[in-house]
Chain A
């Protein structure tokens, strides 16, 4: 038994836990109870819950108001996914945000190099390579700040561009819900309130709510406190590899209907700090895109209410037709 475990640990890649606000669909009905999940791992698979004391901000913005998520709204689905139950309220384009406190992790040089490569923190890897620092271990301080933009009903509001004031965050240049598959979306990356230029950003997407399935396999072997976990095949750098321009903007292709997620890790070497040698600030943004003329995403396998005749039209139309026929047959008889 020892040998397989040894081999397993030998091939283990140390990699990060991205954090995402994930919903089954980002198109919701007004005044509906909904749930968002904090996916701590990859966008497809969450590996750990998030301890409440680790969260320094969790809030919604709707109709220009920012409301904190209260303690009763949190729940852990199991040991891997933390969820928030909320009411969607009135129609509009809204934002949910979660920000975590900084934590530190000591890593060996090899572990750190592998993680930089695996997670696409390539600028830091290059810097270490150029400065012959690849053999140096690190203590990394990391913090995560994530947002999701979701659409309730059909009304578009301006909340989508709300600045949450997180140390790092994505802010779209235009409303993602006025963009459709086949188009592009410009998104600005902001670090400490200022546009962050020349930063690597990864953007990917999955099929819309009904078109994908979740793998049932979760890793339970890691700990909530660490953002580095054992994993063998998942990756964080699929999809579009982008770099922000001088205004901190990336242009994300939206080739098809789906749930899109952007991620960026800004890392700097810190001089003169006893507590840590590197500081990373992580951010993600999620939203859903559908094609024009439809308010809800769908695939051909599934009907949405927008595809069908609205019930009230059907009922009124039916009564009208029956009424006309009734008058006709009454007179005829």
Chain B
């Protein structure tokens, strides 16, 4: 059992460089998008997902609660449908909002997932909202965040739908790449007797990270105005 946990830790540390070396979405990406054609949209979409820790934390929270692979596929599909609707729809229609505010709501989704996984609703004697429905709703919010980011670039009007779809495709590729290690770590950890402590640690971390990211984004919103 102890060796299993060592394997998990090893996996975590092996994955650090993957995240550390990932490119953030920067002003330089505008140059890539301008000159790189549709392929660049796939690349930037994937990059954004892989470096968007708020999206990854929420996904980790969703996966953590689920036990079977079938459930994982079901919930991730629900999340994907949700974010595709707003990513494609809002970008195509030009609906946008302040990025800090959208990211603040996304941070709250991370907080929510940790709270829910820790049985927060039960402790408060409140009926837990429908799991799948909440994942779809949060998928819509995350999609709006992705759309807001995509719209912050100059996308022009030519082939706009194709660009949006390519960015969306990139996001899905990034999501799959990110989910592989997340699912592996969680699956390995379940075999360990210390899983309950790990479960609590990660979900409390989601609560803390959700609050931290929320405050960070609100600070950015206030200072940015």
Known contacts A23-B31, A34-B28, A304-B27; is-contact A312 B205 (Cβ 8 Å): no
CA distance A154 to B220 in the complex (A): 23
Cβ–Cβ contact B205 & A32, under 8 A: no
Min Cβ gap B119→A in Å is 14
Cβ–Cβ contact A28 & B28, under 8 A: yes
A24, A216, A307, A316: which contacts B30 (Cβ < 8 A)? A24
Cβ–Cβ contact A32 & B28, under 8 A: yes
Cβ–Cβ contact A312 & B204, under 8 A: no
Known contacts A322-B201, A325-B200; is-contact A311 B22 (Cβ 8 Å): yes
Q: Which residue of chain B is the closest to A315 with respect to CB atoms?
A: B19
Cβ–Cβ contact B200 & A296, under 8 A: no
A309 at the interface (CB under 8 A from B): yes
CA distance A328 to B198 in the complex (A): 10
Known contacts A301-B152, A322-B205; is-contact A209 B30 (Cβ 8 Å): yes
B224 at the interface (CB under 8 A from A): yes
Residues of A within 8 A of B201 (CB): 322-323, 325-326, 328-329
CA distance A134 to B43 in the complex (A): 58
Q: Which residue of chain A is the closest to B32 with respect to CB atoms?
A: A33
A297 at the interface (CB under 8 A from B): yes
Residues of B within 8 A of A214 (CB): 154
Q: Which residue of chain A is the closest to B198 with respect to CB atoms?
A: A326
Residues of B within 8 A of A25 (CB): 27-28, 30-31
B1 at the interface (CB under 8 A from A): no
Cβ–Cβ contact B196 & A333, under 8 A: yes
Could you count the A-B residue pairs with CB atoms below 8 Å apart for me: how many are there? 111
Residues of B within 8 A of A213 (CB): 154
Q: Binary interface profile of B, 151-162, with partner A (CB < 8 Å = 1, else 0)? A: 011101100000
A138 at the interface (CB under 8 A from B): no
A283 at the interface (CB under 8 A from B): no
A271 at the interface (CB under 8 A from B): no
B208 at the interface (CB under 8 A from A): yes
Min Cβ gap B87→A in Å is 17
Residues of B within 8 A of A325 (CB): 200-202, 204-205
Cβ–Cβ contact A209 & B205, under 8 A: no
Q: Which residue of chain B is the closest to A301 with respect to CB atoms?
A: B152
Q: Which residue of chain B is the closest to A319 with respect to CB atoms?
A: B12
Known contacts A23-B31, A29-B26, A296-B26; is-contact A302 B152 (Cβ 8 Å): yes
A72 at the interface (CB under 8 A from B): no
A216, A297, A332: which contacts B27 (Cβ < 8 A)? A297
Interface size range of chain B in the complex: 35 or more
A308 at the interface (CB under 8 A from B): yes
Residues of A within 8 A of B23 (CB): 29
CA distance A298 to B223 in the complex (A): 14
A303 at the interface (CB under 8 A from B): yes
Cβ–Cβ contact B53 & A311, under 8 A: yes
For chain A, residues 22 to 73, give those with C-beta under 8 angstroms from any C-beta of chain B.
23-25, 27-29, 32-35
Cβ–Cβ contact A29 & B28, under 8 A: yes
CA distance A209 to B224 in the complex (A): 18
Cβ–Cβ contact B35 & A311, under 8 A: no
Cβ–Cβ contact A305 & B26, under 8 A: yes
Residues of A within 8 A of B153 (CB): 210, 302
Cβ–Cβ contact B197 & A326, under 8 A: yes
Min Cβ gap A94→B in Å is 15
A83 at the interface (CB under 8 A from B): yes
Q: Binary interface profile of A, 286-328, with partner B (CB < 8 Å = 1, else 0)? A: 0000000000111011111101110110111011011101101
Cβ–Cβ contact B200 & A311, under 8 A: no
Residues of B within 8 A of A326 (CB): 194, 197-198, 201
Min Cβ gap A38→B in Å is 14
B172 at the interface (CB under 8 A from A): no
Cβ–Cβ contact B31 & A24, under 8 A: yes
CA distance A323 to B205 in the complex (A): 10
Known contacts A210-B30, A300-B224, A333-B197; is-contact A321 B205 (Cβ 8 Å): yes
Can you list 16 A-B pairs with a CB-CB distance of less than 8 A?
A: A25-B27, A27-B28, A28-B31, A34-B28, A210-B153, A304-B27, A305-B26, A308-B24, A311-B53, A315-B20, A316-B16, A318-B53, A323-B201, A326-B201, A329-B200, A329-B201
Interface set of B (CB-CB < 8 Å, partner A) = 12-13, 16, 19-20, 22-28, 30-32, 34-35, 51, 53, 99, 149, 152-154, 156-157, 194, 196-198, 200-202, 204-205, 208-209, 216, 220, 224-225
Given contacts A312-B20, A316-B16, 6 further A-B contacts (CB under 8 A): A25-B27, A209-B30, A216-B156, A315-B16, A318-B209, A333-B197
